Amino acid sequence: MSPRTKVGVLISGRGSNMRALIAACEAEDFPAEIVIVVSNRPEAPGLDFAAKAGLPTRVIDHKAFPSRDAFEAVLHQVLHDAHVELICNAGFMRLLTIGFVEKWRDKQLNIHPSLLPAFKGLHTHERTLKAGVKIAGCTVHFVRTEMDSGPIIAQAAVPILPSDTPDGLASRVLEAEHQIYPMALRLVASGAVHVVNDLVVWTADLPKGDYEPDILISPPFANA
Ligand code: GAR
């Protein structure tokens, strides 16, 4: 059996996507394992969950550093020391500089609660509803320096209901997030996909029938 890809998860808060990744990694055939969880916020509730799940955790409080570069140098060292091969940003709400992003080019994933490239940034669900679009969703992508952008690995479409509020939509999108983040991590860690010309493509020599899903369409399909 091939060794599993070593993953470092970065969080800033609740960590529900991190929990979905932890659960996925429990499956014997999952091609990745989490070797460290790092939070830039000491009070992040996700830290406690990770520690109880038996994972090494580390707080690197960005406020304790004089610059972004100084913060990122320590973050990089901690990930390197833990032998991390792939980073999963899971609600990690800190912009990263080009230096860090390039060191981890095509080795850092992020999840965002919209169908990128639409609705990058904060207050996604409010803006989605205000725009009157009919389909919301979420995206897992490789990280580039521009916020919430980079080659798209997996997406889920979540229909908007006439009665939707930002909170209601957020919770349905979050359910989809918990499904596509493990899907996307499996695709990358297994080598099923890789980046060519800044687009995610299927690895050509995959045996026929070995393709895994990279999209998810969430229920309900009909209006409520
Ligand atoms: C998730 O909805 C994630 O998509 C979003 O933050 C939330 C974190 O929740 N990330 C972004 O908006 C990144 N731009 P979680 O801590 O429960 O995973």
Q: Where are the domains of the chain?
A: 1-104, 122-139+149-224
Query: CATH assignment of 1-104?
Result: 3.40.50.170
DSSP code at position 4: P
DSSP E strand stretches across the chain: 5-11, 32-39, 57-59, 86-89, 108-112, 135-142, 152-159, 193-196, 199-202, 215-217
Q: Ligand 1, closest atom to CA 14?
A: 16
Q: What are the pocket residues of ligand 1 if the criterion is a CB atom closer than 6 Å to any ligand atom?
A: 13-17, 90-91, 111-113, 148, 174, 177
pLDDT at residue 221 in the model: 61
pLDDT averages per 10-residue partition of the chain, 224 residues: 88 98 97 98 98 98 98 98 98 97 98 98 98 97 97 97 96 97 97 96 79 85 50
pLDDT at residue 2 in the model: 61
Superfamily of domain 122-139+149-224: Formyl transferase, N-terminal domain (3.40.50.170)
Ligand 1 centre and the CA of 78: distance in Å?
22
pLDDT at residue 213 in the model: 86
